[in-house]
Chains A and B, each alone.
Chain A
Amino acid sequence: MGSSFKGEDLFGSGPHVFREQRRGRRVVSLAAVAGDVTQDGSVEFGDVELRVEVHGRLVSSTEVGLWALCDAITDEAESTAGSGLLEDAHGHEWAGVKLLSFEPSGETERGRTISLGYTAVFGVLASG
């Protein structure tokens, strides 16, 4: 079983791993909120928004194929693309997430295969 986003296998051309970022309450220094360094303590403003990172490598036998893999992902990172279900290879699900960004982690590597490392960040935005 592979991973998927909105039912599409975006990352299955190569190895990839999922990592959740920090969860919990969003705690902010009162001094920062008030603009007053004499204020002690902190205040909470709801929960930290969910962020899930996917680190991996897209792999193709051709340049054109690699670009097609990239395009399929970046299409989902456009502001007009809606949210959906993200699922890792073990069946863990994150509902209602958007693909917030896709960033290559280096240059295109040309060896036996054509490949590109990347980090994709998914998340839930409180604004919807």
Chain B
Amino acid sequence: MVVLSPDRVRFGSDEWEGVQRVSFDRFGTRTIEEWGDEGPQLVFADVSRVRVKARIVQAFETTDLESPIPGAMEELRVEVSGGSDAGRKIVKTDAVVQSVSYSVGGSRSERTITLVCVSAAGDEDPVLVTNAN
């Protein structure tokens, strides 16, 4: 899942400006594979551990003296319009900051924030997409 040029990105009470894109990657961290007595081919596979990571890329044209702290947990809220108010969506998840890194080149800088998304009980995808209205 990727959101390009979101209208607004908040992490708890912090407003993150200049976000170019927010992407959500899903990784299976435990894959179960089983073979049977019938032949050489895999006959069962399942994924019983999933990690969802959010990656937020911000553009900076000025000095940045504030930075999210790895380990901080807040609600990440991304607002995106589909070209009209009717199509406005909100993507939200509880997330923990894992890393913050900068790429500096020319007149622009980029900050990439990587977050691990946390599900309340573990049985549902931590990322929720709803209509804003």
The residues of A with any CB-CB pair to B shorter than 8 Å are 3, 14-18, 56-57, 59, 88-90, 109-113, 115, 117
Q: Is the CB of A18 within 8 A of B37?
A: yes
Q: How far is the CB of B39 from chain A (nearest CB, A)?
A: 11
Cα distance, A110 to B123, chains bound together (Å): 9
Q: Is the CB of B36 within 8 A of A110?
A: no
Q: Is the CB of A56 within 8 A of B46?
A: no
Q: Is the CB of B48 within 8 A of A16?
A: no
B47 CB within 8 Å of chain A:
yes
Question: Total contacts A to B, CB within 8 angstroms?
Answer: 45
Q: Which residues of B contact A14 (CB under 8 A)?
A: 34, 44
Q: How far is the CB of B36 from chain A (nearest CB, A)?
A: 4
Q: Is the CB of B32 within 8 A of A109?
A: yes
Q: Given A57-B34, A89-B37, do A111 and B48 touch, yes or no (CB 8 Å)?
A: yes
B64 CB within 8 Å of chain A:
no
Q: Which residues of B contact A109 (CB under 8 A)?
A: 30, 32, 46, 48
Q: Which residues of A contact B72 (CB under 8 A)?
A: none
Can you report 17 A-B residue pairs in the complex whose CB atoms are below 8 A from each other?
A: A14-B44, A15-B34, A15-B43, A15-B44, A16-B36, A18-B37, A56-B36, A57-B34, A57-B44, A88-B37, A89-B36, A89-B37, A89-B38, A111-B47, A111-B48, A111-B49, A117-B32
**Smallest CB gap from A54: residue in B:** B37
Q: Which residues of A contact B27 (CB under 8 A)?
A: none
Cα distance, A115 to B46, chains bound together (Å): 9
New A-B contacts (19) at CB < 8 Å, excluding given A109-B30, A109-B46, A111-B47 = A15-B35, A15-B44, A16-B36, A17-B36, A17-B37, A18-B37, A56-B34, A56-B36, A57-B34, A59-B44, A88-B37, A89-B36, A89-B37, A110-B48, A110-B123, A111-B32, A111-B46, A113-B46, A115-B44
